[in-house]
Every structure is written in structure tokens, then in C-alpha cells.
């Protein structure tokens, strides 16, 4: 049957999502979910769901939800598109804005779904290396490589690093880029700045947001895009007829209306993020500045992959990426204070165990060398 599958699909590697264990006792710090429940308004909206709502198709254009989003962001509903998670919108962008002979560009490292979307479309792509410490590319030559692309995906703050790019550099790219720039702001509610105004001013720029992170609704799968009417209209042309279900639309609207609850949760998470960063640094980690709900950190007293696997044995999940640029780091979601305290206690114990093991190995080698020396004499 494989002969019926497109060649590019047979050759490609699929996107690998983070592990979702069935055991609820696992401390889950691997997929950047919010550790706190969604707004109580969401649960109230869920209680209002009835059988009549479920037997009918959902609103195909999500008009009520788009009006709620537009009000929060002070734009027109015609500038808003709602998708089945922001991942659906990313895929639609690859179909709407990239010719068959075109190219997609993105930074490296970045969201690993981007090259998968290019391979699905069977178009070329260009991964642009970031600068030192995963900052904005440090040479004009690197950015010049994106010039011939039709579409530029940019996660800002970046994933997996958490780095927030300078807004003036982002704006310069958007204004100079000949194609469409998609600013994937999945984590922006945890950041000090955003680029929404660029999407509202520039004809070639879209901003994507998700309810999975700051709104605690990863299980709902709702995201949205904001941009020019022309770009939004193109997404409507190619979307599935009923791409967002009725339950998702209703609950998403309730969550977005409760901005005060979301902001309070964000403050809790950013406070824990600062504590986590300081604690990891005290344990010898190199911790990158983060504007997201996770930290990207390099252990110096134990191998990153080894630490990932040994934490997993203790039912603590963090994320490890084996790529050349990321293999020395771990991405750690900011959980509750209790979860983070357990993580830090486990890390400290594993590092002590590693040091003892290294010392034991060194002592054994010294002893063997001494014995060999005695025989030589």
C-alpha cells in the first residue's frame, strides 16, 4: 500500500509531540501546559452545553468568538481567524501563502513543526541559524538567506529557548520581507512585549495566539490569527467547513472574556519562573533568560540527556531535544511551586549521585594506575 503514498510523505519524519502519560501522579513539566485550571467562567459555560447544541453543526465562521477576540485586541472581527489550535493555522498558512515552487523560512532552533509543514507541502525550506545564546541572528548574511522565501515562521518568544527577540528587529524583518511573516506568539502572555501592532499595521504580517498556554485550555485546541483582511480572507477560503467545534467556541469565548483570571495566573507562573531560574543557576545550570512559561537550561554537573532520563525514572518529565544546537539543554515547563520544589530536590540528588560516581571512578582509575606503576618498578 505504500506505493499509493506521496514520495515526500514516505521520506519525511513526522512531528513528535511531547509525551502524555496516563498516570496522573507524574510531574509533567514537558509540554508547557498551564499548571492551574482554566477560568471558572469556562466551567460555567461547559454546564450550559446541551444536546441540541451538539446535534447541530457549529458556527462555521466563529462569529461570536471572533467578536470577543476583536474586542480584547481592539481590532475588527474581519481581522480575526479562529483555528483548531494554532497548529491548524500554521498549516493553512503553508497552503495559502506558499507557491508549489516556493520556500518557507524559519529560525533554527525553533518549533520543530515548521520543517514538517514544509515537507508536507513538498516545498523547499531554509533554517536560519540564530546568534550566540540563541539570540537574533548576528550577521546580515544569515537573514539574507530568507529573502527568497514566500513565508517566514517566527516563534516569539522562541520555543524551545524562551528568548524574546528585539521588537525593532522583528519589525524590520516584517517590513523588508517580500512574503508573509507569521509571528507565532504562543507564549507572549508571559512576555514583556508583543508584536500585535505589527499585524494590525502591516499587510504581510500575521500574529498567532493560542488558548493552550496562558488560558489553561490545551485540551480544547483553539487558536487564532490576527492580521490584514486580505490574509484572513485567504485562510477562510481554504479552511475546513466547520473547523472549530461548538464546545470549543463557547468555552474559548468564556475564557477570553475573563482577562483578569488569565493575567492573575500569568503573574503566578512568571513569579515561579524567576524562582526556578535562580534555583537552577544555584545548582550550576546555565539558564537562558525566558519570556515564556518554561526555562531552557544547560546542566554543567551532569549530562543533559542523562538527567532527562533519570528524572523520567523518578516520574518527572521534562523535554529533551537531541539536535546539535539543543542537546546540552533541557526545557522545563514552569509548574506549581510544589512541583518545582520536587524537581529541584530530584535534580540536586541526581547531581550529588553523579559527582559521587565520578569521584569513585576517578579513585578506581588512580588505584589501578598506582598498581600498574608498582608493577613497573
Q: Residue 140: is its pLDDT beyond 60?
A: yes
Q: By the 8 A CB rule, do 265 and 34 touch?
A: yes
Q: How confident is the model at residue 367 (pLDDT cuts 50, 70, 90)?
A: very low
φ/ψ bin of 20: left (φ > 0), alpha (ψ from -120 to 50), beta (otherwise): beta
Q: Residue 377: is its pLDDT beyond 60?
A: no
| Alpha-carbon distance values, 344 to 278, 305, 323 (Å) | 11, 17, 25
Per-residue pLDDT, 151: 97
Work out the average pLDDT over 209-229: 98
Q: Note the pLDDT tens digit of each residue in 76-116.
A: 999 999 999 999 999 999 999 999 999 999 999 999 999 99
In angstroms, rounded to a whole number, what is the distance separating the alpha carbons of residues 320 and 339?
Answer: 18
Per-residue pLDDT, 51: 94
Q: Note the pLDDT tens digit of each residue in 264-273.
A: 999 999 999 9
CA angle, residues 82, 86, 92, in degrees to nearest 5: 80
Work out the average pLDDT over 130-134: 93
Q: How confident is the model at residue 353 (pLDDT cuts 50, 70, 90)?
A: confident
Q: Note the pLDDT tens digit of each residue in 274-320.
A: 999 999 999 999 999 999 999 999 999 999 999 999 999 999 999 99
Q: By the 8 A CB rule, do 215 and 65 touch?
A: no
SS3 244: coil
In angstroms, rounded to a whole number, what is the distance separating the alpha carbons of residues 170 and 183?
Answer: 9
In angstroms, rounded to a whole number, what is the distance separating the alpha carbons of residues 156 and 150?
Answer: 19
Q: By the 8 A CB rule, do 287 and 281 touch?
A: yes
Q: How confident is the model at residue 204 (pLDDT cuts 50, 70, 90)?
A: very high
In angstroms, rounded to a whole number, what is the distance separating the alpha carbons of residues 309 and 318?
Answer: 9
Per-residue pLDDT, 368: 54
Per-residue pLDDT, 141: 80
Q: By the 8 A CB rule, do 260 and 73 touch?
A: no
Average pLDDT, rounded, for the chain: 93
CA angle, residues 320, 322, 323, in degrees to nearest 5: 125
Task: State the CATH class of domain 261-376.
Answer: alpha beta
Q: Quick one: cell of 121?
A: 507541502
Q: Note the pLDDT tens digit of each residue in 20-57.
A: 999 989 999 999 999 999 999 999 999 999 999 999 99
Per-residue pLDDT, 375: 47
Q: Residue 329: is its pLDDT beyond 60?
A: yes
Please list the residues that pair with 287 across neighbouring strands. 297
Q: Residue 186: is its pLDDT beyond 90?
A: yes
Per-residue pLDDT, 263: 98
**Residue 145 or residue 103, greater confidence:** 103
**Domain spans of the chain?**
37-259, 261-376
**Residue 375 or residue 303, greater confidence:** 303
- Residues 193-221 as b or e (16 or more Cβ within 10 Å = b): ebbbebbbebebbbbbbbbbbbbbbbebb
Work out the average pLDDT over 353-370: 58
Task: State the CATH class of domain 37-259.
Answer: alpha beta
Q: How confident is the model at residue 224 (pLDDT cuts 50, 70, 90)?
A: very high
Work out the average pLDDT over 160-185: 96
Q: Is the pTM of this model over 0.85?
A: yes
Amino acid at each position: 500500500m505504500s506505493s499509493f503514498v506521496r514520495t515526500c510523505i514516505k521520506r519525511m519524519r513526522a512531528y513528535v509531540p511531547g509525551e502524555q502519560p496516563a498516570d496522573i501522579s507524574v510531574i509533567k513539566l514537558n509540554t508547557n501546559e498551564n499548571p492551574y485550571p482554566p477560568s471558572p467562567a469556562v466551567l460555567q459555560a461547559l454546564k450550559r452545553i446541551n444536546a441540541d447544541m451538539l446535534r447541530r453543526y457549529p458556527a462555521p465562521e466563529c462569529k461570536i468568538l471572533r467578536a470577543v477576540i476583536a474586542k480584547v485586541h481592539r481590532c475588527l472581527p474581519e481581522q480575526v481567524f479562529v483555528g483548531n489550535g494554532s497548529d491548524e493555522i500554521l498549516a493553512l498558512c503553508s497552503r495559502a501563502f506558499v507557491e508549489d515552487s516556493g520556500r518557507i523560512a524559519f529560525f533554527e532552533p525553533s518549533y520543530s513543526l515548521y520543517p514538517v509543514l514544509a515537507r508536507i507541502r513538498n516545498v523547499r525550506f531554509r533554517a536560519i541559524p540564530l546568534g550566540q545564546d540563541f539570540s537574533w541572528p548576528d550577521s546580515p548574511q544569515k537573514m539574507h538567506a530568507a529573502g527568497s522565501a514566500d513565508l517566514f515562521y517566527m516563534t516569539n518568544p522562541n520555543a524551545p529557548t524562551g528568548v524574546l527577540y528585539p521588537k525593532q528587529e522583528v519589525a524590520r524583518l516584517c517590513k523588508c520581507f517580500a512574503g508573509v511573516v507569521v509571528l507565532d506568539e504562543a507564549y507572549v502572555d508571559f512576555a514583556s512585549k508583543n508584536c500585535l501592532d505589527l499585524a494590525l499595521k502591516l499587510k504581510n504580517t500575521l500574529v498567532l495566539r493560542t488558548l493552550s498556554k496562558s488560558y489553561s485550555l490545551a485540551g480544547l485546541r483553539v487558536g487564532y490569527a490576527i492580521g490584514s483582511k486580505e490574509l484572513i480572507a485567504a485562510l477562510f477560503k481554504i479552511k475546513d467547513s466547520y473547523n472549530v467545534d461548538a464546545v470549543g467556541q463557547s468555552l474559548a469565548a468564556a475564557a477570553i472574556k475573563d482577562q483578569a483570571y488569565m493575567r492573575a495566573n500569568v503573574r503566578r507562573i512568571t513569579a515561579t519562573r524567576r524562582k526556578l531560574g535562580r534555583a537552577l543557576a544555584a545548582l550550576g545550570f546555565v539558564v537562558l533568560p525566558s519570556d515564556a512559561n518554561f526555562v531552557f537550561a544547560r546542566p554543567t554537573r551532569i549530562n543533559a540527556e542523562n538527567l532527562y532520563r533519570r528524572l523520567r525514572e523518578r516520574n518527572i518529565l521534562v523535554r529533551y531535544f537531541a539536535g546539535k544546537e539543543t542537546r546540552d539543554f533541557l526545557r522545563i515547563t514552569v509548574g506549581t511551586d510544589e512541583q518545582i520544589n520536587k524537581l529541584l530536590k530530584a535534580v540536586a540528588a541526581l547531581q550529588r549521585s553523579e559527582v559521587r560516581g565520578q569521584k569513585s571512578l576517578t579513585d578506581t582509575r588512580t588505584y589501578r594506575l598506582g598498581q600498574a606503576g608498582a608493577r613497573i618498578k
